[in-house]
Structure 1
Amino acid sequence: MADLLHRHPERFEPGIPLSSLTTLRIGGAALGLAKLRNSEDARRFLENAREAEIPAVCLGGGSNVLADDRGFCGLVGVMSDRTLEIRGDTVRAGAGIPFDELVVGSLQAGLTGLEFASGIPGSLGRALVGNAGCYGHEIGEFLREAVVLREDGRIETVGPEAFAFAYRHTAFKERRDVVLEAVLTLGRGDVVAALAERADHLASRRAKHPVDLPCAGSWFKNLPPAEPGGRRQAAGALLETVGAKRLRVGDAGVFAGHANIIVNLGRARCVDVLALAEAMRAAVQDRFGVRLEAEVRHLAWLADAARPDDPWAIRG
């Protein structure tokens, strides 16, 4: 690893704490950090990791990730391509563009459809990998095609079927492939109504989500509907019922405004957050007999050595 950093000092920055790259503001340093501005940067990043035989992961905006207190024993790439091109009803965007910036840019061009995502943190690339969504819509509904970097270095253009979109999940969550850019198909609806909807969503998010406390977003996925076609049961409602807001481990606590959000109250550690999440999940399972599934992913120090039963593991 030291040899890799010595040979390519222009590509990798050592010692950058993951707490500065994640919205939960937790995590030690990665061995090396690379800013990936384009497909060539990303290709070389994975190539260097393969040659050095060390783990590598890519991050977007840093939401939905809990980094280990010790950091990450490998390379971390941050997608920084914020390209946004709009032609007709087609939007081509780089994986590094903030999701909400994409929403704003689309509305300014007279395109509607993405207003449901107003205020969602993170980047487009990670939103696609996790099929982010709310208010009954998901980003996967709008994907026409994506340019991806395969683990073996090939760059391919794939359609929506390659993602196998499901609720807060895609096939890319189980792979080391990297989303580089995406093409979305939107509509030309009532922009005034869309802007009003955006304003409502932003107001709701401000009321229910922390403004000045670090968090990773909703911690657990909502439960499947009781009947086909029905609405999912909110994990937050179950957590509210079992009194999750009273739980705290160290400086990791549950947000007073939403029982499904873990916040960093000051100097929370990764181990504190994991212990708190387990306590929350156990309380729901004891009361309702259902096991909540985590939406936030755990970036372990040694990703390939993460416990196979670790529900949050990201394997590099």
Structure 2
Amino acid sequence: MTTYIIRRAIQAIFVLILVTIIIFLVIRLMPGDPILTVISQQDLAEATEEQIANLRHYFGLDKPIIIQYFDWMGGVLHGDFGTSILHRVPVVSEIIRRIPITFHLGALAFIISIVVGIPMGVICAIRRGTWMDTVVTVLANAGITVPSFWLGILMIYLFALYFDWLPVMGYTSPFENFFLSTKQLIMPVICLSLFPIASSARQTRSSMLEVMRQDYIRTAWSKGLEERLVITRHALKNGLIPVLTLKGISIGHILGGSVLIETVFNIPGMGRLAVTSIINQDYPYVQAVTLLLAVIVV
């Protein structure tokens, strides 16, 4: 067991190092110049070549790229993710402010995917071949194929603009206004939990059907046990083991999906920060957000 943990830890370290190298290189291969972006957005059109050079030196962009990488990694190991090129504030402070919002959204989507998806899969397995199985299977397949951002745009048009039932977008802490926060999160949580619900339902159905074919389940049926007891005491206990194991992977899907969902619904979380940082070529933000997401997934 100890050997396995050590091996997994070493693999995780190598994966994280590879992720940092890839994102560090990819963001710098994008067309454009972050310094010129800052100048254009802050009305510094008359900036001299000397001022531009000073900005490059201040952010370390005048150094060879390999030196920039090791400087950044050295800072990360000391808890310093750098300074935002656009806003001139420490990256850590902005991440600390935004990460609870993303975790709030992701936690709700994760819980709902378990509460809704697993019972749907169990019902499909128990009632295999019935209309209930057909309906849930069709809905699960649709949930996997429908793009979450497209669904978000559609829900905004219907429930916020057309019917005026829910707020268009934004985020309010539940500690400030619980009712408003709940209304604001209904649409983004539904969009973000759609894929995990569908995948949980399909995985649970497949796992439960496999377990219910086992000999000990047939023995329980032959002894005349009630269906409820066979399902809850025998089939469900073993059928959920692979499903719950795979739920860890869905955390990565939820965090990845939050990038688009937070942008669509204008939620000031980590996902929206990543998108705006990529658009503005704010290297430190992009590198920090990507690394944190990689750490959580790995």
Structure 1 and Structure 2 fold alike (TM over 0.5): no
Give the number of the structure with larger relative contact order, counting CA–CA contacts within 8 Å between residues 6 or more apart: 2
Q: Which has the higher strand share?
A: 1
If the length of structure 2 is used for normalisation, what is the TM-score? 0.21
Identify, as 1 or 2, the structure richer in helix: 2
